[in-house]
Amino acid sequence: MDWITAAVEAGKSALNEYEAKRLLEGYGIPVCREAWVPDGKAAARSAKEIGYPVVLKAAGGRIQHKTELGAVSLNLKSDKEVREEAGRLLAIAGCEGLIVQEMVHGDRELVCGLTRDPQFGPCVMFGLGGIFTELIEDVVFRVAPLTTADALEMMKEIRTTKVLQPFRGQPPVNLDALARILVTVGQIGCDCGHVKEIDMNPIKIRIDGSPVAVDALVAIQDPPAVPL
């Protein structure tokens, strides 16, 4: 399915998180293991298949800032916990369904995204992620398309570049894999003019150093006006 075309035809302003990750996955960006489910019973079944502990999220095109809405439940360890949280999350305004997601282990969190500048067009963003994105504001930008060399330079330009090096007994971040993500985000921006914004925050670094997107937002630009 062409997720962007379907969203534009439906008049959506954004993909829900599950749709956004399918778009990114289709371009080869690594995303966490997860399942889309309609209710608590199905969520518990998927949690067993994925393996406890899991993350449970409310998802919908209008649910963009999940933490502020209380739309994320972490480290759920039993069917009972999943069913209970499912009921609470489904009651959140704008919830279209639930995402059952693996708990990704790793202490480092990065952010990667895309924005459209009125003058320069699609621009790729990279920096420190998680709760520190707004607190520290350590991000850099490049105009798309990017080369691998561009992406590697961006990694050196953030103030907290040491986070990419060996960390608390864990290996360095796989910079080649991370560079591929940055280059690909730029490619999506160049390929599809309807994509207004992409936000992958956080991209978690697994304990083996590999990056994986555990949350994603894709905003859609309004379709061109039809002349009268």
Residue 1 predicted with pLDDT over 80:
no
Maximum CA extent, the chain: 64
CA–CA gap between residue 63 and residue 77 (Å, rounded): 25
Q: What mean pLDDT value characterizes the chain?
A: 93
Q: Are strands 97-102 and 54-59 parallel, antiparallel or unpaired?
A: antiparallel
Q: Where are the beta strands (DSSP E) in the chain?
A: 14-15, 34-37, 54-59, 72-76, 97-102, 108-117, 121-128, 139-143, 195-205, 211-213, 217-220
Residue 184 and residue 160 in contact, taking contact as beta carbons nearer than 8 Å? no
CA–CA gap between residue 79 and residue 50 (Å, rounded): 12
- Are 91 and 202 in the same domain? no
- Are 25 and 38 in the same domain? no
CA–CA gap between residue 221 and residue 4 (Å, rounded): 10
**Verdict on whether the full-model pTM lies above 0.85:** yes
Query: Does 228 reside within a domain?
Result: no
Q: Tell me, what's the pLDDT at 228?
A: 40
- Are 125 and 209 in the same domain? yes
The residue out of 102, 126, 141 marking a domain boundary is 102
Residue 28 predicted with pLDDT over 60:
yes
Q: Report the number of distinct structural domains present in the chain.
A: 2
The residue out of 63, 84, 102 marking a domain boundary is 102
Amino acid at 118: P
The domain of 183 spans: 3-30+106-220
Which of 124-133, 163-172, 219-228 has the weakest average pLDDT?
Answer: 219-228
- Are 51 and 94 in the same domain? yes
- Are 98 and 189 in the same domain? no
- Give the residue-averaged pLDDT of 161-174: 94
User: For residue 222, what pLDDT band results from cuts at 50, 70 and 90?
Assistant: low
Query: Does 11 reside within a domain?
Result: yes
- Are 10 and 119 in the same domain? yes
Q: Tell me, what's the pLDDT at 58?
A: 97
Strand partners, 100: 35, 56
pLDDT, greater one: 125 or 64: 125
Query: Does 225 reside within a domain?
Result: no
Q: Tell me, what's the pLDDT at 132?
A: 73
- Give the residue-averaged pLDDT of 35-61: 97
CA–CA gap between residue 219 and residue 84 (Å, rounded): 31
- Are 155 and 181 in the same domain? yes
The conformational region for residue 141 under phi > 0 = left, psi -120 to 50 = alpha, else beta, is: beta
The residue out of 85, 102, 119 marking a domain boundary is 102
- Are 14 and 58 in the same domain? no
User: For residue 116, what pLDDT band results from cuts at 50, 70 and 90?
Assistant: very high
